[in-house]
Amino acid sequence: MSEFRKVRKAVLPVAGLGTRFLPATKVVPKEMLPVVDKPIIQYVVDEAIAAGIEHFVFVTGRNKHVIEDYFDIQYELEATLKARNKKAELSLLTDMLPKAGTSTFTRQQEPHGLGHAVWCAREIIGPEPFALILPDMVMAADVPCLKGMMDVYDVSGGNVISVEECDPSQTHKYGIVGVGESVGSGFKITEMVEKPEPGTAPSNYFINGRYILQPEIFPILANLERGAGNEIQLTDGMLKLAKEQAFYGYAFDGQTYDCGSKEGFIIANVALALKRPDIRPKVENELKALIAALK
C-alpha cells in the first residue's frame, strides 16, 4: 500500500473548439470522432479505468452534450437490439457504460485555455490529487500510460507527468522536461520548459498529455495571468507549483497518436485497425496496394 493519497478522480477537458478539424467538428465534438469503431474519448476512459480511476470529471462546453449522452443508456436502441436478439452489439453498449454516479459533467463556459478548463473542475475534485488526461492523445501500450504513472506515484507521491522521447530537432514544438535522479520506475523532473529555443532543450523528453496533479494547482490556476495565445496555460501553473512541490516523470513506453491533428488522427485509425485481427487482413492489403500505386 502506498503512503500517498489515492488518485481516484480524473479530469477530462473536452471544451476546446477543435478548430483544426473544422468543418467536421462544427456539430460533432472532436472527442466523438471515431478511431476504428470507438470514439476518441472511449480510449482514454478505458485507459483511466485500467489505472483504477473511479470518477470521471468531464469539463465540457456548448455543443458537447452528445458526450454526456454517449455515456448514458440509449433505451430505444437497446430495446431494438434486444428485440432482434443482437447480443454482441447490445453488450458493446452495456459494457462501456460507467457505473451510476461515477461521472460528473461541468461546463467551461468560454474556452479560456487548458489551465482554465482544469480550474473549472476544482469544486468536484476537492482537496485530493487527481489525474488529468488530454483526450486528444490516444495511447497504445502493454502497460496503459496512466497505470505506469500510478506506479511511479505510489513511490514518489507529488506530481507525476508522462513524457516520451521526440527527435531532438523537434523539441521546440513541445513542453520539455529535464531528467534527474531515478525514483521508483520514474525520475525526478529538474525543470520544465515550454517550447525551448532550438539547441537549448534540457532533454528530448516531451510532455505527452497525462498528468497526476496535487490540488494545490487550483489556487495557482485561479490567480494566473493569461499566457501564450492569451489563454490560461496549464504549463504556467505547473511551473509555479514546481517551486513548492516535486514533479516526477514517467517515460511512457508505447505509441501515442495525437488525434487533435489530422495526420495523427488518420495514423491512429490505420495503426489501431492493423492491431485488430478482424479488420487487419483487408486494411493491410488495401494499404499495401495504395502505397505501391504511389508514384
Short-list 270, 293, 260, CA closest to 21: 260
> Candidates 17-25, 68-76, 94-102, 182-190 — which segment interacts with ligand UTP by CB under 6 A?
17-25
**Nearest residue to 140 (alpha-carbon basis) of 17, 11, 40:** 40
CA atoms of 177 and 196, how far apart (whole Å): 10
Site for ligand UTP in 247-286 (CB under 6 A): 260
Distances (CA, A) of 183 to 17, 49, 156, 250: 38, 25, 7, 10
Region from 8-16, 124-132, 158-166, 211-219 binding ligand UTP, contact rule CB under 6 A: 8-16
Minimal distance in Å, beta carbon 142 to ligand UTP? 25
**Which range of residues in 94-102, 108-116, 178-186, 191-199 is near ligand UTP by CB under 6 A?**
108-116
- Strands (E) located in 134-174: 137-140, 159-165
Q: List the one residue from 9, 10, 13, 183 that touches ligand UTP (CB under 6 A).
A: 13
- CA-based nearest residue to 144, from 49, 72, 71, 219: 49
Q: Which is nearer to ligand UTP, 114 or 149 (CB)?
A: 114
Separation between Cα atoms, residue 186 and residue 251, nearest integer Å: 7
Binding mask 21-60 for ligand UTP (x = CB under 6 A): ---------x----------------------------x-
Contact code string over 113-142 relative to ligand UTP, x by CB under 6 A: xx-xx----------------xxx------
- Of 78-86, 104-112, 199-207, 269-277, which segment contacts ligand UTP by CB under 6 A? 104-112
Coil, strand, or helix at residue 237?
helix
Of 79, 106, 99, the residue nearest 90 (C-alpha): 79
CB of 198 within 8 A of CB of 173?
no
Residue closer to ligand UTP (CB basis): 14 or 51: 14
**Residues in touch with ligand UTP (CB under 6 A):** 13-20, 30, 59, 108, 111-114, 116-117, 134-136, 260
